[in-house]
Amino acid sequence: MMDENRKLFDDFGEIHLKYMQDTKKYQAEFNAKGQEVLDVIRIYENRLCSTTEGGGYGKYSGKLADKFHEIIKINFPRIDSIGLQQA
């Protein structure tokens, strides 16, 4: 996923680091680029989980999705902050 979308994830990585240092200043940019990243993540998550569900392992699909997100959070710990608005 990251290899096929290297530029997008590299750009997001830079913004992510800036966002961690100053959330107010970089919130809008973080949200915009982050939405693109989330779209890519959802595509790959759907591919991964639909294969599992179709293979008769539906009860494991939720756990697999959780594990997938845990791995993403290793590189981008603030990814869940995408879409938040500063007050």
Of 32 and 84, the one with more pLDDT: 32
10-to-13, 57, 72, 76 alpha-carbon distances in Å:
5, 34, 14, 11
Backbone angle region of 83, left / alpha / beta, with phi > 0 → left and psi within -120 to 50 → alpha: left
pLDDT of residue 48: 81
pLDDT digits (tens, 9 = 90+) for 29-72: 999 999 999 999 999 988 887 766 656 666 677 788 888 899 99
pLDDT of residue 54: 59
Question: What pTM did the predictor assign?
Answer: 0.83
